[in-house]
Structure 1
Amino acid sequence: MNNSRLVAIVVIEKVINENAYSNIVLGLELNKSDLNDKDKALVTEIVYGTLKYKYTIDKILSSFIKKGFESLDSFVLNILRISIYQIRFLDKVPSFAVVNEAVNLTKKMSNVGAAQFVNGVLRNYLRDDAAVYYNEKNDIERLCFEYSFTKALVKLFIKQYGIITAEKILSGLNQKPDVTVRVNTLKLTYEEIWEKLIENGYNIEKGYACLDAIRIIKGKNIENNLLFNEGSITVQDESAMLTAHSMDLAPNLEVLDLCSAPGGKTTHIAEIMRNTGHISAFDIHKNKLSLIKENLDRIGIINTSCDVMDATIYDSNLLESADRVLIDVPCSGLGIIRKKPEIKWSKHIKNIENIVHTQRKIMENASKYLKKGGVLVYSTCTLNKEENEGNIDWFIENHPEFKIQPVFYGDLKNINYSDSGYVTILPNEYMDGFFIAKIVKL
């Protein structure tokens, strides 16, 4: 397959129609294609951009498709979506070229009638590029259209954070993420890894919030790099890197990681502990244990064992067995929309109540596994306060033998330190949205 727009549509079809993960299916389709690096970059831009702005694009298209989207073949609808994205949001592709490409591809993959329809919709859109598609006097409609979020999510963020911070969150979640890597000083020093990346042609910068981080500004796929394959670096967002640094780690501790896959935080804990002590890495999904083991082997970790476990079910064998416990609990994922834009419209707010119940069961069990004087770290990659502050406040209220211990990562504009001691990281161009609470057993 060597047509970049066709590859993009194949990916979008699977994400929208089959609930596939954008990052996984995009990688698979690009690897199968015969595209050069430039065209692969275009496919990536179109896929993530179209998914990111799907709400806005669909709002525009609904003005021109009077019979509703259900009347259209899925391929035709998605070629209209990627075309509107390119015309509205990409400067490097001329509008006439986008229309011609869309018409020709529709003619080839569908029929002449569908191609004429695509041509008509796109040319009608181009005739009035200053048209307004929402009520400009309504803040919620403006935010939904401008940042391309559903009304449910916009209302949630406004209710929990206020409109000013909510808009900052929406803007941050639309930022294009750079690749960030964590250095493994079990193998090489930070300076040695820095020099080797430069020698390999990477344009790099120091991390924004974490001393272990290097930001990859430009360069080839880092996971094809020898430094990655040898375990000297691991791809990880800086927000996630801060989790292990919150655990007061030291050599020879007994550590439990109850929701471990794919192992990014587990391996970071092992690196900080210099491969001493013991880490028990658990996950509910047996098939995901292989991902953890691959990372352990690649990085050279020898102090970690992996086992299947449902963290919501209490295991009496673990009672007061750990010096440190990490629960990076399953969550709604609203903080990582930069990397998985389909979360904008694939997550339903009404399901959050069930998630909170699961998170609290995991917290209850984790607290029992901790020794007196031990540290429990609770983290999520969401910005929903019910899953974050709400859970911590509930836990502390019901467990007087625990207290929150404040953490500090530096005076950065996007890191909010609460009076209670927990931390909310707002998304920006450097970091995903995240929440961390450090709890000590008295």
Structure 2
Amino acid sequence: MRLHRNLVFTVIDSLNFIFNEGEYADKVVAKALKKDKRWGSNDRKFVAETIYDIVRWKRLYAEIAGVKEPFDRDNLWRVFAVWVVLRGYRLPDWKQLAGTPSRRIKGRFEELSKIRKYRESIPDWMDELGVKELGELTWEKEIATQNEQARVVLRANTLKTTREKLKTVLAEQGIDTETLKDYPDALVLKERANVFLTDAFKEGLFEVQDASSQLVAPFLDIHPGMRVVDACAGAGGKTLHMASLMQNKGQIIAMDIYESKMKQLKTRAKRNGVFNAEYRIIENNKAIKKLHEKADRVLIDAPCSGLGVLRRNPDAKWKLQPEFVDTIRKTQQELLEGYSKMVKPGGKMVYATCSVLPSENQEQVQKFLATAAGEQFTLEKDRKVLASTSGFDGFYMALLSRKS
């Protein structure tokens, strides 16, 4: 296996942006893939997967390389050299890789792989928090799974097609998929491919949405004709799913504090053929008060630590700080107490996160039920999804009904 200089230099430049400039890995990768139009699919695959790989294993590789942040360019090359040796590539005769101690790298890897925080490449505080909340055995399995590459899952847009028809259409375009039991609209790619370039995507026949995320909208028990509020809509993956479940009948009010997210949602909704959604920016509490006791259903897909989706966002391991987790728990409680007031008597609400921490999930629901606002609700059911048992993202969802 040979390394190509222009691809590797792109990787080094990208790592510098992520580690030293604080840029988000997904945006850096997207930019990197547009650098040279002459690159083929294998070239782009090498660039993307190598960047994500080194971001994912940053702590382990840096420890083996004997370098500390902030990484200067020489240090980035040393980290890259560790990746080269451990991945079994032949070391090219480049000055940046001269003197790479291959035997010592392999020895240090064996040594550090016995210690979980290095083996799974996570900060000390995250390892301690995971053990505290999930227990040693569960955390061990969960964080190992979070370091695996996530599968690409599609959700068939039933406003325009069926899962079976979509499967056939994609096969004709050279993309093979398989169905998932208990996920009625989901298709999993057998091999990774850029599905965003397909005609099927451009025609709005599907969205990319993890299987665990596809559980949330049906959990809300929505029906055509209802008035539904998606209170933390973001770019709208669950809004679009709800629209399809409602067959475009009734009303979805998609809300978020970020106007940029709403613009993305509008674009996606147009492509999906969704026309029963309206969009509102939450600039202050007035937007919420206007909807007090007006919604049949409310979804609070709350901001969270994201510890259930680390394999999709490996740079979050390094951006996330313990203080943020403390702050976000307070935000979650405020959202539950404030946004629950939009549920009409007899209506229902789902609280969901993409975290696996009980302190963001079950414990938040119990705290809410003990408040004045929460006394009007009862917990119908909840569901905890671990990546290590489901094979998909870690998620939590709780269905609460407001007393009549």
Q: Provide the TM-score with structure 1 as the length reference.
A: 0.85
* One-letter code aligned to 1:434: F
For the Cα contact (< 8 Å) 1:60–1:133, is it kept in 2? no
For 1:104-123, list aligned pairs within 5 A: 104=95, 115=96, 118-120=97-99, 122-123=100-101
Write the deviation string for residues 158-215 of structure 1: whole angstroms up to 9, x where unpaired: 1111111011111110111121100011111221111111111112111265211000
Counterpart of 2:383?
Answer: 423
Question: In 1, distance between residues paired with 2:286 and 2:303?
Answer: 15
Note the 1:385-400 alignment, pairs <5 A.
385-398=358-371, 399-400=374-375
- Find 1:47's aligned residue among 48, 51, 55: 51
Which of 119, 124, 149 is residue 176 of structure 1 equivalent to? 149
Counterparts of 1:362 and 1:127 in 2: how far apart (Å)? 51
Q: Per the alignment, do residues 279 and 135 of structure 1 end up closer, same or farther by CA in structure 2, a change over 3 Å counting?
A: closer
Q: CA deviation at 1:36?
A: 1.4
Change (3 A) 1:311 1:80: farther
Task: Determine whether 1:31 maps to 2:8.
Answer: no
Q: What displacement does 1:28 show?
A: 1.8
**1:145 matches 2:118:** yes
C-alpha contact 1:203 1:219 (8 A) present in aligned 2: no
TM superposition shift of 1:435: 1.1
Contact preservation (8 Å) 2:64, 2:108? no
Could you say if the C-alpha distance between residues 135 and 18 of structure 1 is closer, same or farther in structure 2, counting changes exceeding 3 Å? Answer: closer
Secondary structure at the counterpart of residue 400 of structure 1: helix
* Identical positions, percent: 28
Cα offset, 1:127, TM superposition: 4.3
Is 1:344–2:321 an aligned residue pair?
Answer: no
Deviation at 1:133, TM superposition (A): 7.4
Matches within 5 A, 1:201-220: 201-207=174-180, 209-218=182-191, 220=193
Cα distance in 2 for residues equivalent to 1:208 and 1:178: 16
CA distance in 2, matches of 1:69, 1:282: 39
Q: 1:261 to 1:275 in 2, by over 3 A?
A: same
Q: Deviations over 1:103-145 (max 9, x none)?
A: 34xxxxxxxxxx4xx523x22x434622467678xxxx71111
Instruction: Check conservation: 2:134, 2:357, Cα contact below 8 A.
Output: no
Q: What corresponds to 2:393 in structure 1? A: 432
Distance in 2 between residues matched to 1:128 and 1:277, nearest whole Å: 61
Q: CA deviation at 1:230?
A: 0.7
Match of 2:170 among 197, 204, 209: 197
Alignment root-mean-square deviation, CA: 2.1
Cα distance in 1, alignment partners of residues 158 and 224 from structure 2: 15
Residues 186 and 274 of structure 1 are in contact (CA less than 8 Å); yes or no, is this contact kept in structure 2? yes
Identify the match of residue 13 of structure 2 among 7, 10, 30. Answer: 10
The separation in 2 between residues aligned to 1:173 and 1:32, in whole angstroms, is: 29
**Other structure's SS at 2:143 match:** helix
Partner of 2:259: 286
- Per the alignment, residue 377 of structure 2 pairs with 402
Pairwise CA distance, 1:338: 0.6
Hey, what does 2:85 align to over in structure 1? 87
Is the contact made by 2:29 and 2:48 (CA closer than 8 Å) also made in structure 1? yes
- SS across alignment from 1:129: helix
SS of the equivalent of 1:238 reads: coil
Mapping of residues 250-399 of structure 1, within 5 Å: 250-310=223-283, 315-398=288-371, 399=374
Q: Secondary structure at the match of 1:214?
A: strand
Partner SS state of residue 161, structure 2: coil
Distance between the aligned counterparts of 1:209 and 1:22, measured in 2?
A: 32
Q: Secondary structure at the match of 1:345?
A: helix
Judged with a 3 Å threshold, the aligned counterparts in structure 2 of structure 1 residues 255 and 14 are, in CA distance, closer, same or farther, namely same
Which 10-residue stretch deviates more, 180-189 or 305-314? 305-314
| 1:384 Cα deviation from its structure 2 partner | 2.3
Q: Contact (CA 8 Å) 2:133, 2:359: kept in 1 or not?
A: no
* SS at 2:47 equivalent: helix
2:82 maps to amino acid: I
Output the CA distance in 1 between the equivalents of 2:5 and 2:124: 38
Per the alignment, residue 19 of structure 1 pairs with 22
Cα displacement string for residues 267-296 of structure 1 (whole angstroms, at most 9, x for unaligned residues): 000000000000000110112211000110
Report if the CA contact (8 A) 1:258-1:311 is conserved: no
Residues 259 and 282, structure 1, Cα contact 8 Å, conserved in 2 = yes
Q: Name stretches of at least 5 consecutive residues in structure 1 with no aligned partner.
A: 105-114, 407-421
Residue equivalent to 2:103: 126
Secondary structure at 1:424's aligned position in 2?
strand
Worse-superposed segment, 210-219 or 46-55: 210-219
- Structure 1 residues 439 and 277, CA gap change in structure 2 (3 angstroms): same
Q: Secondary structure at the match of 2:359?
A: coil
Count of residues in Structure 1 that have an aligned counterpart in Structure 2: 396
Alpha-carbon contact 1:169-1:427 (below 8 Å) kept: yes
Query: What SS does the aligned partner of 1:215 have?
Result: strand
State the AA in 2 paired with 1:401.
Q
User: 1: distance between equivalents of 2:51 and 2:351?
Assistant: 33
Please give the per-residue CA displacement for 1:349-391, whole angstroms capped at 9, x wherever unaligned: 1221211111111111221000111111111111222211221
Q: Aligned with 1:363: secondary structure?
A: helix
TM-score (norm 2): 0.92
- List gaps (5 residues or longer) in structure 2: none
